[in-house]
Chain A
Amino acid sequence: MGLCKQSIFRCLFGCLFIFSIMAAPVQAGTLTFYASGEDLATEGFQAPRLTKDGWALTFSHIFVTLTDITAYQTDPPYDPNQGGPIPGKTQATLPGVHTLDLVMSAQEDDRVLVGAVMDAPAGHYNALSWKMTRATEGILAGYSMVLTGTAEKEGETVPFQLYSEEERTYRCGEYVGDERKGLLAEQGEADLEITFHLDHIFGRADKPADDPMNTEAPGFAPFTNGDGKQTLTLHGLHIGHAGEGHCNVEWH
């Protein structure tokens, strides 16, 4: 009789084990996050793509510090023009604070690897948010974005160091680019991109002067008077994108 009880107990234990495995979510894949300042960061503002006031820029470093990087599966899709929190039921968050150099760390495709979530639920990640936060260590401590390099115009060369301490959160809809991103199949791989449009700071000489981007961008002229540390104010400028897709910005 004891042997019977032991067999039944083993059967029950085995069934429980099997059901626990079957009930476990297995639809997961790897979601990789990249950041990019595009070719304007790696190649600079060179003719004909000079700044709106005619300066050629070459960047030695562009440091950004990011945190709270989260991808969402939203239905209905998130509309950044409406703003507000992203109501995604399924999320994949990359933990930690990440300070990146968009120039020196860039790959051939101008992207910088931020990190990956290895067990992200499968589905379409059609929204993305991240926070620009102040770095806490080293010479970047206290700043969320730092740009250094040299500017040239009509034989004049001006070194620059632009520091921004502004913290803000970008909330974007789906990535817009050559291909759709964020489509993560079961046990597959997908990626998303945090994109910084530097021409929203410096403008573009190859675009009309009355282009909204040029009318809003300060250009480089305000930074020509000194080679020391200068303050860069980004408030009101939309430099954060998901590819070409615009994002909602919450300034802190």
Chain B
Amino acid sequence: MALKRSLYQHIRQVVPLRQRLTFGGLLLLIALANGLSLSLPVPLLAHGALLKYTHTAAITVQAVYDTGQSMTGAQITVYAPDNPARPWLTGISDAEGRFSFVPDPDLPGTWSVRARHAGHGAMVHIPINPEQPEHSLRKQGYTAGQRALMAASVVWGCIGTALYFSRRRTS
């Protein structure tokens, strides 16, 4: 409010009355653009609704008991291939035991979905882009011990070679 008051005082000092009326409209726009609230009457807009869509390849799982009965309200957990220990998405199945999700296309491999309800549970594994290499728990490359051994062997080889040629020159 103090900022608004000082702004009006500044306008009264530097802007003539005729121009002030026109300037008021511009000020309103500036204020709105900067997030300031003014006590001037402004037209109210109705709450518009906008619905957009994106065409995606979603996966729907359905959790059922082995009797065929739907597993309604089951806890659903989705695991992405890059981190099988951490849930990627969680949710609840609908009345028919269904649950849909859109996997991240940048994470190819086997996606796992777990359903649990009242002491019963099941998992399903869904391969996505199986031609892509799958992430693995195995680390690629060498261990620290192997790298140290390789470095030591290179040094040892250089020293041995040097000693070999130096011996030949001496004899």
- Bound CA span A124–B138, Å: 10
Question: Among residues 135 to 185 in chain A, which have CB atoms less than 8 Å away from a CB atom of chain B?
Answer: 173-174, 176-177, 179-180, 183-185
Q: Is residue A88 within 8 Å, beta carbon to beta carbon, of the partner chain? A: no
Chain B contact residues: helix, strand, loop or mixed: mixed
Segment from A96-104, A227-235, A238-246 that makes contact with B: A238-246
Number of interface residues of B (CB under 8 A): 36
Q: Knowing A22-B149, A176-B121, A212-B67 are in contact, say whether A123-B164 is a contact too (CB < 8 A).
A: no
- Name B125's closest neighbour in chain A (CB-CB): A77
- Bound CA span A245–B119, Å: 9
Chain A contact residues: helix, strand, loop or mixed: mixed
Instruction: State whether A18 touches B149 (Cβ < 8 A).
Output: yes
Segment from A3-11, A58-66, A105-113 that makes contact with B: A3-11
Q: Is residue B18 within 8 Å, beta carbon to beta carbon, of the partner chain? A: no
Instruction: State whether A185 touches B137 (Cβ < 8 A).
Output: yes
Contacts of A179 in B (CB 8 A): 85
Contacts of B127 in A (CB 8 A): 76
Contacts of B110 in A (CB 8 A): 75-77
Question: Among residues 47 to 67 in chain B, which have CB atoms less than 8 Å away from a CB atom of chain A?
Answer: 65-67
- Bound CA span A247–B85, Å: 22
Q: Which of the residues B123, B139, B143 comes within 8 Å of A174, measured between beta carbons? A: B123
Q: Is residue B5 within 8 Å, beta carbon to beta carbon, of the partner chain? A: no
- Bound CA span A173–B125, Å: 11
Q: How far is the CB of A80 from chain B (nearest CB, A)?
A: 9
- Bound CA span A210–B122, Å: 21
Q: Is residue B89 within 8 Å, beta carbon to beta carbon, of the partner chain? A: no
0/1 interface trace, chain A 178-215, chain B, CB 8 Å (1 if under): 01100111100000000001010000000100001000
Q: Which of the residues B121, B137, B164 comes within 8 Å of A245, measured between beta carbons? A: B121
Q: Knowing A4-B164, A22-B150 are in contact, say whether A183-B125 is a contact too (CB < 8 A).
A: no
Instruction: State whether B153 touches A14 (Cβ < 8 A).
Output: yes
Q: Is residue B20 within 8 Å, beta carbon to beta carbon, of the partner chain? A: no
Instruction: State whether A176 touches B122 (Cβ < 8 A).
Output: yes
- The chain A residues found within 8 Å of chain B, CB to CB, are 3-4, 7, 10-11, 14-15, 18, 21-22, 26-27, 75-77, 81, 122-124, 173-174, 176-177, 179-180, 183-186, 197, 199, 207, 212, 243-246
A/B interface sample: 7 pairs, CB < 8 A:
A4-B168, A7-B164, A7-B167, A76-B125, A81-B66, A186-B139, A246-B66
